[in-house]
Amino acid sequence: MPDKSIYSAVQSRNMVLVMILLLSFFLFKFSAPILTSLLAAAILYILFKPWFLYLVNKKKLSRSLSGMLIIIFSLLAIVLPLAGVCIMVVNKAAGFDPTEARNIVDKIQHLAGSRMDLKDMLNKSINDISRWALGAVSVFVASAAEVFISLLIMYFTLFYMFKSYKEFENTLLKYLPFNRDSSLRFGEELKNMTYSNIFGQGLIALAQGIMVAVGFLIFGIPDPAFWGVVSFFVCFLPVVGAPIVFIPAGIIEISNGNNVAGIGILIWGAVLVTIIDNFLRQFISKKIADTHPLITIIGVIIGIPVFGIIGLVIGPFMISFLILLFKMYEETYLQQKDQEGGKKKPDNDNTFDRV
Type of residue numbered 49: K
What is the DSSP-derived secondary structure letter of residue 309?
G
What is the reported pLDDT for 64?
Answer: 93
Quick one: CA dihedral 192, 195, 196, 198, positive or negative? positive
Q: Torsions phi, psi of 177, nearest 5?
A: -80, 40
pLDDT at 124: 58
* Res 54: pLDDT: 94
| Residue type (1 letter), 31 | S
> Which of 159, 147, 195, 153 has the alpha carbon at shortest distance from 72?
159
User: Residues with Cβ < 8 Å from 226, sequence gap 6 or more?
Assistant: 88, 92
Which DSSP category does 32 fall into? G
In this structure, are residues 136 and 90 in contact, taking their beta carbons and an 8 Å threshold?
A: yes
Distance CA 103, CA 60 (A): 63
Tell me, letter by letter, the H, E, C secondary structure of 85-126: HHHHHHHHHHCCCHHHHHHHHHHHHHHHCCCCCCHHHHHHHH
* Cα distance between residue 233 and residue 310, in whole Å: 11
Q: By the 8 A CB rule, do 48 and 59 touch?
A: no
Q: How many residues does the chain have?
A: 355
- CA atoms of 201 and 335, how far apart (whole Å): 33
**DSSP assignments along 211-228, one per residue:** HHHHHHHHTT-S-HHHHH
DSSP string, 214-282: HHHHHTT-S-HHHHHHHHHHHTTSTTTSTHHHHHHHHHHHHHTT-HHHHHHHHHHIIIIIHHHHHHHHH
**DSSP 8-state symbol, 6:** S
Cα distance between residue 298 and residue 124, in whole Å: 28
Q: Going residue by residue through the chain, which has 355 residues, state the pLDDT in tens, using 9 for 90 and above.
A: 556 667 677 878 888 888 888 888 887 777 766 888 888 898 899 889 999 999 999 999 999 999 999 999 999 988 888 777 777 776 766 665 556 556 655 666 565 555 555 556 555 555 555 555 555 555 555 566 777 888 899 999 999 999 999 998 888 888 877 777 877 877 887 787 777 777 777 888 889 889 999 999 999 998 888 888 888 877 876 666 788 888 888 888 887 888 899 899 999 988 888 788 777 777 776 666 666 667 777 777 787 777 766 777 778 778 878 888 888 788 777 766 666 665 554 444 443 343 3
The pTM (predicted TM-score) of the whole model is 0.70
Residue from 186, 164, 133, 153 nearest 67 by CA: 164
What is the per-residue pLDDT for 285?
62
CB 325 within 8 A of CB 310: no
The C-alpha atoms of residue 293 and residue 296 are separated, in whole angstroms, by 5
pLDDT at residue 352, rounded to an integer: 33
**What DSSP string runs through 131-193?**
HHHHHHHHHHHHHHHHHHHHHHHHHHHHHHHHHTHHHHHHHHHHHSSS-HHHHHHHHHHHHHH
